[in-house]
Structure 1
Amino acid sequence: FTKNKYGTNGERGKLCGDNNAGTAEANAPVAYAFICICTAETVAATSECADGKTERVQDSVDSKSEAEKAWDKIVTACKRQPKPTTVTPAAIRQVLTHVLSRIGALNTNSTAGNDKFTLGTLSSSKCDGTTSAKQCVNYKKQQVSVGRKLSWIEDLITAEQFLAQAEKEATKAAALQQQLLNINRLAWDVYTSAAYDIENPTQELPADQSGPAKLTKEQDCNKHYLNKKCKNPCKWDETAIEKDKRCSLDPVKAAEQQETQTAGTGANDGKPDCSKLLTQQACENANKDDKKHCGWKKEGDNDHNKYKEMCRNGSFLVNKQFALSVVSAAFAALLF
């Protein structure tokens, strides 16, 4: 706001667009529109903007000091109004919508063709402030002329666009920050896993020296920080909060490993104990080196579980085959 705009040559009237066609000077910052709406020219204002606002800014005399005093009181009144906690594009758009809806809303003149472009109270075709019914500003020239725009409305639109773009950039920045955090976490996991592998190299026995497989424990699984290294009987859980708990022991797979390991050691003769294998897969896994140690089947008449399929020792089949071969040999000897 510049008080020097108000001199003795009808500056108030020009800033308020005080004729039917409006004026170019009315395309001024919104502060000057408040002077047009809230003050009168030849008489005291009638509190159009706020209670007790009766200042006047005259057209024919030097009114610089009067305009400055009036503006200070308008600012004080505005500061008492509720404000948004945050200025957002939506808040600016709401203000724009409300202000634009007020243009022409208080026109009571019968010739509405000219007065529909006015902001403020109007009962005639001139916003000269000579009565309370003429405390207004006429924007007809700005709204009708091709290519002309109202400066302070354009300023608000620009502010809305800038804030909207800033919100988009802030969203992108937050997404990039999250990606960087994920990359940093992955890099740290790779580093930790690699450091552990270097300090704890895997010891593999030659094929002819390999003994029974070592049973996997929970601690063995917890040492793996990468999904690709978390292998059976371990399982990977990406949602685990603690990094050393993402790879944990799968109880089902661990039980199968225990069964196979127990069967693999067997008794003192090195044969598997088929009765300890509780699943068909574990039972079949016990048959190695093309030897039929165990079988998933029902048993003979003397077995109280004869109707139940379970893992049973396969030696009785071998014994029967051996006995049959002995009988066959003896029978052949008799024939020849």
Structure 2
Amino acid sequence: MPSTASQPAATAVGSTTVDLRTGLPIALVSAAAFGLAGPLAGTMLVTGWSPAAVVAGRVGGAFLVLLIPCLFLLRRTGLPSGRQTRRMIAYGIVAVAGGQLCYFNAVQHLSVGVALLLEYLAPVLLIGWLWLRRGQRPSATKLVGAALSLAGLALVLDLTGEVRISLVGVAWGLSAALCLCGYFLMSERTTAAPPPLLMTTVGTGVGAVLLLLAGAIGIVPLTTASAPALFAGHPVPWWVPMLALALVSAALAYISGIEAVRRLGSSIASFVALSEVILAVVFAAILLGQIPTPVQVVGGILILTGIAVVQTPPGTLVGPRSTRRRLDHGRR
């Protein structure tokens, strides 16, 4: 998107300034970090770890890693306000723990691909929320991009073959989608928005405690193992993929994800986050030797096309020097 040489490319979308030049790379870093979680966790699941134990270790490890930097931040900025504290706790409950617990319950009743497809309806749900709640009517280009992205997602998840579906599982899957919506909405920049480092530290700490409590009372199984994991075909101690999960797929993923939402807005950031599925397939091919099928490649192309279409302005107002474009967001 055109811009002046000294300023980042930005457009005004409603009350949100969209900075594609810096926001898009950060969003892709976050998507790559989240996408690495599945293949890394896969190396541990085959040794006997339960999914909930892996996630609890991942977010709990991130909390421990970020705790000292967070304390230095608080020493400089002071304690958060009451509104910020409530927002961070809600973030940990909904975005970190809630989404994981809903997804775990969904896969008990649904095929994994179906559960993921339901969870990744979040960008579409966000379009409806922003329209009803904030009056941000979606453009035709955004709707087309959403349709392309969802079609590509279905292909990448490869829903062919035997598919398990139940009403209970669908309810859990949609609940996971709502939690994902909460992740994007609570990451937005507002007057009560804590710094990304602080929000991630508190959120992962709250999420880890809730996941461990859920395991203790039997909502999800918590099983660990000490056997070596196969990392890119080589046996490594179990703590190597766990450390990568904590540092990359939790700490880096959440911090960069929050920053991306604040630069792109929740709607655009949610569609860019769909690239996580593509990157997860790529990482699975590298780490686990799971080569994507031609159908998955086509699906990935559709997702990327949809993301590009979503970011296309429905109309432009060209300034005197033709260096800026603003979305014609319609008149209310």
Higher helix share: 2
Higher relative contact order structure (alpha carbons within 8 Å, sequence separation ≥ 6): 2
Normalised by the length of structure 1, the TM-score is: 0.17
Which structure's CA Rg is the greater one? 1
Normalised by the length of structure 2, the TM-score is: 0.17
